[in-house]
Amino acid sequence: MSPWSPLHAQIQQTLRRRRLLSKGDRLLIAVSGGQDSLCLARIILDLQPKWDWTVAIAHCDHRWRDDSAANAAAVAELATQWQCPVMQRVAQTPPSGEAAARQWRYQVLQEMAEEGQYQHLLTGHTQSDRAETLLYNLIRGAGADGLQALSWQRSLSPQLTLTRPLLEISRQQTGEFCQQQQLPIWWDSSNENRNYARNRLRLELLPYLEHQFHPQVSANLAQTAELLRADVAYLNQQAQQLLDQALDENALNRRPLQDAPLALQRRALRLYLKSRLHSDPSFAHIEKLHALIEAPNRTQSDPFPGGAIARVSHPWIHWLDGDRT
């Protein structure tokens, strides 16, 4: 066990205050070998006796770097030193980009967690990651849902929850912790590759904003994400209630939609479109459907992806799949 530190106390307080974990839970910690995941793993293992957790470490090798096998071996060796079980997966083919790597990583992490009957998958996302995600999504034109940027918890399956205990901890704090505890950080050269947009944001844009505008810009952005998280949760709840009032099989009753505020109209239509398109609708898709709330009778939309259209037959908006138009 490592010497007790202020960061140990802060994480334990966060776990209790936000009720992220319970005594006796089974936890699988995703460990890359970088400072954030090492900090998380060490603190969770130090808290383990107090909480009676069952803990294991998981590592994913994307095969992006020549040293990735050595990286995986180093994580396994550290887990052995800590007397902690370790699970590892290696990509058969290196993922083609950031999005593909993330998709593969979460898929295999979920598989490992479910194989071991773990209830929580823990990741080392920090306050700094939250700020970067908010800024990245803002640049891409995301709404409030995207700007809430990394929630504390997210359901991956009925049996598994993704949990991020470090969202109030900065990357500087995790680095200082690893240095104080003499943890062997594995330097990932891909984090310095400026071909990736997220790396350019972290290495160039955020330092520029901190130097030119506000030294606490990352903390402020992360705070904004936390404020938006509560707002989004409430608005989504209200939007679901509105959709339940308006929906009758495939048709939408325009009357309850017409009486609702614009923010709830758009959110209810987004939920409706997501169920029809089986993917997140764009702002243009939502606005196309929104225009029919006040449109004259028999007005119809341009085709949505897949060829479906929406048509007004007052007081209803009917959804007609591509093979019925």
- Nearest-10 Cα torsion for 129, 130, 132, 134: 160
Domain of 206, CATH number, reads: 3.40.50.620
The answer to the question of residue 269 being in a domain is yes
Q: Is there a single domain that holds both residue 293 and residue 204?
A: no
3-state secondary structure of 130: helix
Are residues 11 and 3 in contact, defined by beta-carbon separation less than 8 angstroms? no
Q: Can you give the residue range of the structural domain that contains 119?
A: 6-217
Q: 121: burial class by Cβ within 10 Å (0-12, 13-18, 19+)?
A: buried
Q: How many domains is the chain partitioned into structurally? A: 2
- Asked whether the whole model's pTM tops 0.75, one would answer yes
Q: Is there a single domain that holds both residue 193 and residue 258?
A: no
Measured at the CA of 75, the angle between CA 74 and CA 81, to 5 degrees, comes to 90
pLDDT in tens, 164-199: 999 999 999 999 999 999 999 998 887 888 888 889
The answer to the question of residue 239 being in a domain is no
* Average of per-residue pLDDT values in the chain: 93
Measured at the CA of 13, the angle between CA 7 and CA 18, to 5 degrees, comes to 125
The answer to the question of residue 164 being in a domain is yes
Q: Is there a single domain that holds both residue 137 and residue 95?
A: yes
Q: Which two tokens stand for residue 158?
A: 């009925």
Of 199, 217, 235, the residue at which a domain comes to its end is: 217
The band of 103, judged by pLDDT with boundaries at 50, 70 and 90, is very high
